[in-house]
Amino acid sequence: MEDRSTSVAATVGSAVSDFLTRRHKLLIGSDWVDARSGEYLPSLDPATGRTISTFAAASEDDVDAAVAAARAAFDDGPWRRMKPAERAAVIWRIADLIEQHADELAELESRDNGAPYGVCRYGFVPMAVESFRYMAGWVTKLCGDTVSLSLPGDWHAYTLREPIGVVGQIVPWNAPLMMAGMKISHALAAGCAIVFKPAEETSLSALRLGELALEAGLPPGVLNIVTGAGEITGAAIAAHPGVDKIAFTGSTEVGRLIAQAAAGNLKKVTLELGGKSPAIVFPDADLEQAILGTARGIFTNSGQVCVAGSRLYVHKKIFDKLVEGVAEWAEAIQLGAGMEPTSELGPLISAKQLARVKGYVQSGREDGAQVVAGGDVLDRDGYFMRPTVITNARSDMSVMREEIFGPVVCAIPFDDNDLDSIAREANDTLYGLGASIWTRNLSIAHKLAPRLRAGTVWINAHNPLDPALPFGGYKQSGWGREQGLEGLLSYTELKSVAALL
Ligand code: NAP
Ligand code: MG
């Protein structure tokens, strides 16, 4: 993998550097336009803190223009009138183009977001490709039902699945291209028109995706991309009366603002929010597999993962061994800039995020918890935090209750075999996004899974996502589901037609 990333960096570097030197505009209709304010924002490399590119800061007026372009494309354009097979072909072409530009996109993502090149090239980029391909497959299969009515008379009744209309989509910075692919592919497959806002910290890969979507033949106005600040650009999308649905991924705090803003025109809302996901390790678990799996479950992407297994419940019989193993893994992993070939874990996204994560570790120390690995930052430029393992944390401490969104895990022993009481502890959180169970006894695993209040439960794994598997949160981790048929249907309206014959 090292050789591959070095040679790739040498060959595609110029495409990426050309892209970075441009001042990126907004995609409205089929045109790339300046923001009306003429303002630009910087995109930083989190491994150095230096500006690598600039992009337009959209204001309310620009969002109005994007919504108008989307509305025109939806109401009058060819997109939702196309034959399903034709629409599927365009979506599939977008996937092909992402794949053809995989090296370039991975480098762009790695420089902008900080994740190791290999993670971008063999993780985030293929996941975006797969989202488009999976959703392209549904386009020709979406259909309604015929319905038998008991009303007097002869009736022919049926349902139609129709696109919901103009959708606003807002995403965070932790897996930018993958998130963009996931969101945009759903809306395109349903026949919607989109106003998309990437995160301020990582707008670049979505802008490149916009260029590729036009190249794939997406009609003008079907995908509009407005970059800018959340409180301005994002808030304008969420509140816009011309938007029929808002799909948001981000923090629970902002999710609440989105739901409030959406109330104005009662637009439909789906929310993929924060988490504080438990990993539960039973004494019969394959120890090596559980150490590796739970370490990756929290530290992948430097813990900037919504389903990160940040509360590690371990049976006391194996607690010391397992925690020691996770701590060793944490100490051994190689931190570095995304494009450094030896790098296995990148920096956090920003100085703000680094300060936030450090603050949580400090508060844990002050509350009496013990840091047994990591706990400090790297002495170099950029926002590097060592993977951190905490023990002796109580359930009332903020390290145990709040989403840190960084490489910090709290390990807690349990000595109970009662599944109800294990589940009660695991469920003792405002969140309910993911959970994992580690055991060789599948009977225990399948008895515990239904007791966990979480949208996804993995058994002997933590984190893997598949476009076919619905994903979303219980409790304050969100509303609705993405991925799978369930995700696609959330971009449709169901119309009933009843004819008296
Ligand atoms: P965030 O602050 O909530 O931001 C997410 C997006 O919302 C960004 O594009 C942001 O814009 C925008 N935004 C901010 N304020 C807004 C407002 N008032 N109105 C409309 N949009 C607004 O989240 P983050 O810190 O970037 O990302 C981390 C969070 O995302 C974590 O809580 C994590 O758990 C969650 N997440 C959830 C999932 C999931 O699928 N459940 C997946 C990944 C991440 P700017 O950043 O550009 O200002
Ligand atoms: Mg950046």
DSSP state of 219: P
Residues facing residue 371 across a β-bridge: 390
Amino acid letter at 474?
Answer: Y
The dihedral formed by the CA atoms of 123, 275, 315 and 388, expressed in degrees to the nearest 10: 70
pLDDT of 1 above 70 = no
pLDDT tens digits, one per residue of 359-385: 999 999 999 999 999 999 999 999 999
User: At how many degrees (to 10) do helices 84-100 and 176-190 cross?
Assistant: 170
Residue among 234, 176, 183, 230 nearest 206 (CA): 176
Closest C-alpha residue for ligand 1 atom 42? 306
CA 127 to chain centre: 11
Ligand with the closest atom to the CA of 113:
2
Cα separations in angstroms, 68 against 72, 154, 195, 225, 445: 6, 43, 10, 13, 50
Between the CA of 177 and the centroid of ligand 2 the distance, in Å, is 13
Query: Does residue 178 line the site of ligand 1, with CB under 6 A?
Result: no
Predicted pLDDT at 12: 57
Q: Give the strand order in the sheet containing 245-249.
A: 31-33, 26-28, 223-225, 193-197, 166-170, 245-249, 268-272, 478-479
Q: What is the pLDDT of residue 7?
A: 41
Instruction: Determine contact, residues 453/427, Cβ cutoff 8 Å.
Output: yes
Q: Return the ligand number nearest the Cα of 271.
A: 1
Predicted pLDDT at 189: 98
Phi, psi of 228 (to 5 degrees): 150, -170
Rounded distance between C-alpha atoms, residue 68 and residue 28, angstroms: 9
Residue 50: both structure tokens together: 């230096």
| pLDDT higher than 90, residue 173 | yes
Whether residue 55 has its Cβ less than 6 Å from ligand 1? no
Atom of ligand 1 nearest to the CA of 477: 41
Q: How far apart are CA 262 and CA 272, in angstroms?
A: 15
Q: 14-18, 113-117, 276-280, 475-479: which range is least confident on average?
A: 14-18
Q: d(Cα 39, Cα 195) in Å, to the nearest integer?
A: 20
How would you class 396 by CB atoms within 10 Å of its CB: exposed for 0-12, middle for 13-18, buried for 19 or more?
A: exposed
Q: Which of 201, 225, 251, 383 to mutate to test the pocket of ligand 1 (most atoms within 8 A of CB)?
A: 251
Atom of ligand 1 nearest to the CA of 403: 32
Over residues 335-355, the pLDDT tens digits come to: 999 999 999 999 999 999 999
Positions marked catalytic: 272, 306
* Among the ranges given (12-21, 80-89, 133-142, 286-295), the one the predictor scored with the smallest mean pLDDT: 12-21
Sheet-wide strand order for 456-459: 370-373, 388-391, 408-414, 311-315, 278-281, 434-438, 456-459
Q: From the CB of 350, is ligand 1 less than 6 Å away?
A: no
For residue 76, give the nearest of 270, 179, 189, 219 by alpha carbon.
219
Helical residues (DSSP H) of 367-495, grouped into ranges: 398-401, 419-426, 442-448, 484-489
User: From the alpha carbon of 272, which atom of ligand 1 is closest?
Assistant: 41
Q: Which of 41, 306, 430 to mutate to test the pocket of ligand 1 (most atoms within 8 A of CB)?
A: 306
Give the atom of ligand 1 at the shortest distance from the alpha carbon of 405. Answer: 31
